[in-house]
């Protein structure tokens, strides 16, 4: 998720909670860096997990090779809705950091799930 999307998610967090959706962000940064920036400086209140070994990033084919600092791999923007068993029920993955799912799209997709 990019920062404009994260702000949008945070702004609509109560709507996600009311819809039974638990928002979780995943960062490739260390837990300390994620906690310092995402939670303390940026003020996000939802859960963040750290994927420093890029295991989740690679499992879901979200890597952008060579796009990070000094050619590091970074994550493509992606949103997933998973059910309680961990099965992906909906997803939006893009290579365009300016084309991301809006909170309304995610909430609408959640409503359409059985």
pLDDT of residue 2: 59
Q: CA quadruple 42, 44, 45, 50: dihedral positive or negative?
A: negative
Cα within 13 Å of Cα(44), Cβ side: 25
Question: Distance between alpha carbon 48 and the CA centroid of its chain, in Å?
Answer: 9
Is domain 3-109 in CATH 3.30.1300.30, yes or no?
no
The string of pLDDT tens digits covering residues 42-92 is: 999 999 999 999 899 888 888 877 767 777 777 888 899 999 898 999 999
Average pLDDT, the chain: 88
pLDDT of residue 69: 74
pLDDT of residue 3: 67
Listed by start position, the domains of the chain span 3-109
pLDDT of residue 88: 93
Q: Indicate the pTM of the whole model.
A: 0.82
Asked if pLDDT for residue 27 goes beyond 90, the answer is no
Structure tokens at 89: 């029920």
Sequence-distant (≥ 6) Cβ neighbours of residue 81 within 8 angstroms: 21, 88, 89, 90, 91, 106, 109, 110, 113
Q: Cα(113)–Cα(89) distance, rounded to whole angstroms?
A: 7
Looking at the DSSP bridge assignments, the partners of residue 26 are: 49
Cα within 13 Å of Cα(77), Cβ side: 16
């Amino acid at each position: 998720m990019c920062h404009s999307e994260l702000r949008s998610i945070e702004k609509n967090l109560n709507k996600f909670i009311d819809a039974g959706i638990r928002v979780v962000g995943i960062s490739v940064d260390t837990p300390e860096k994620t906690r310092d920036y995402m939670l303390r400086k940026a003020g996000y209140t939802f859960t963040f997990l750290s994927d420093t070994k890029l295991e989740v990033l690679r499992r879901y084919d979200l890597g952008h090779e060579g796009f990070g600092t000094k050619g590091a791999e970074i994550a493509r923007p992606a949103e997933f809705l998973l059910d309680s068993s961990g099965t992906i029920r909906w997803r939006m993955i893009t290579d365009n950091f300016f084309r991301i799912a809006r909170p309304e799209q995610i909430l609408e997709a959640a409503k359409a799930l059985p």
